[in-house]
Amino acid sequence: MPMLIFNTKSGTKEEFITQEPGVVKAYVCGPTVYDYCHVGHARAYVNFDVLKRYLEAIGYSFLHVQNFTDVDDKITKRAREMGMDPIRLSDQYIEAYFRDMDALNVKRAIKYTRASDYIGKIISVTEKLLKGGQAYREGGTIYFDVAGGGGFGELVSNIEESVSDPIEKGEKRGPFDFVLWREGQDGEMTWDGPLGRGRPGWHTECVAMAMENLGDVLDLHWGGVDLIFPHHECEALIAKALTGKTFVRYWMHNNFVLMSGKKMSKSIGKSVYIKDVLNKYPGEVLRTFILMKNYREQIEYSDERMERAAGIYAGIKEGAAQARKLWPAQQVSSCVKEYADMFFGALDDNLETGQALATVERLSWEIKDKAAGKDFSGAARVYDAVESILGIRL
């Protein structure tokens, strides 16, 4: 069966068809590197990693680009507090990010980009929008003219419902106009150029990096649901104004990790660092926890749920050991084929990793109990897929 993915743009599951047969052009929004990554970040990158692994397994090649946001007020603030250069601060947390991702067995992108390396491209994008009339200057700030640029609606149909706090129009032409470039303040990272000494807006950064490395149209753009508005909606509007083309064919967004019913977030001081979880559990257990539910569902982080994930992982690992010892034959029995069909069918259905894991968990129970009269020949191949596609090392 074809793979179906939920496209945030249409609000429905759609058959995944790339613009170039066999090639996926994918851009993933990376972290703002002013602190260590938490479990919410892990969820985004682990789930995308499974999608990437699965599509590669069924024959696609992946052009996967991910950014690091290293130009941001939070970085400037943290660098001041620590008495560090902002770039060195970002370097430190990028190194920590890779340590975390390696422990979680997340495959590397073909390219990682940093906003600070793309200032020239960002300036070029902003100049083109000014020339085309989709942007305007007000004082030391250049804004995107939302109404003049075609208006929102790519991902969010009712903008007012997507905004929790009142939006002040201020000096802007419209209340939802957003910054493309602004005049820098003392102590901030700034750059000289034809736009005046300043720094880019967040939305401009990602469009410039994505288009520079993947072209005008992406097959896939991944991020958390908190990025749908304003970030991804603004990206789509900028790109459409630049090229006249649809920027992204499939938008995919993972839901939140919760703590005590609230979104895990560094900015509100409610988070658990990946590095701290890894001091208590192996990466395979955290990865199992993340994949226990579909990426579009919210998941609650707690010690109890982590212990449950540890038990599931231990059971699957034991099942794999027995399958590889007792049924090493590659010929797949009808019993095992049923399990394999359920496993791959779950992944084809919008990456239902929770169902895929539950299928392997049931197979492991039966193997350990040596279910009467069942032939588990070829079961080792299912566990091979757990390792190669779900990325859970056994």
- Local confidence band at 268 (pLDDT 50, 70, 90 cut-offs): low
Nearest to 109 by CA among 68, 71, 50, 62: 62
Confidence of residue 59 (pLDDT cuts 50, 70, 90): very high
Alpha carbon 101 to its chain's center: 13
**H helices of 67-177, where?**
73-82, 86-103, 119-132, 159-162
> What value does the mean pLDDT of the chain take?
94
**Which band of pLDDT confidence, cut at 50, 70 and 90, is reported for residue 189?**
very high
* Separation CA 222–CA 30 (nearest Å): 10
Q: For 15-263, which CATH superfamily applies?
A: HUPs (3.40.50.620)
The pLDDT value recorded for residue 166 is 60
Q: % helix / strand / coil in the chain, to the nearest 5?
A: 45, 20, 35
Q: What's the mean pLDDT in 219-225?
A: 98
Q: What does DSSP say about strands 178-183 and 198-200: parallel, antiparallel, or unpaired?
A: antiparallel
Burial class (CB in 10 A: 0-12, 13-18, 19+), 169: exposed
Per domain, the residue ranges of the chain are 15-263, 303-388
Mean pLDDT of 158-171: 67
- Report the pLDDT value the prediction gives residue 326, as an integer from 0 to 100: 87
Fold of 303-388: Four Helix Bundle (Hemerythrin (Met), subunit A) (1.20.120)
pLDDT at residue 384 tops 70:
yes
Q: What's the average model confidence in pLDDT over 346-372? A: 93
- Indicate whether 197 pLDDT > 80: yes
Look at the pTM and tell me if it is higher than 0.75: yes
Cα 358 to Cα 168, 292, 342, distances in angstroms: 49, 8, 10
How far apart CA 19 and CA 21 sit, in angstroms, is 6
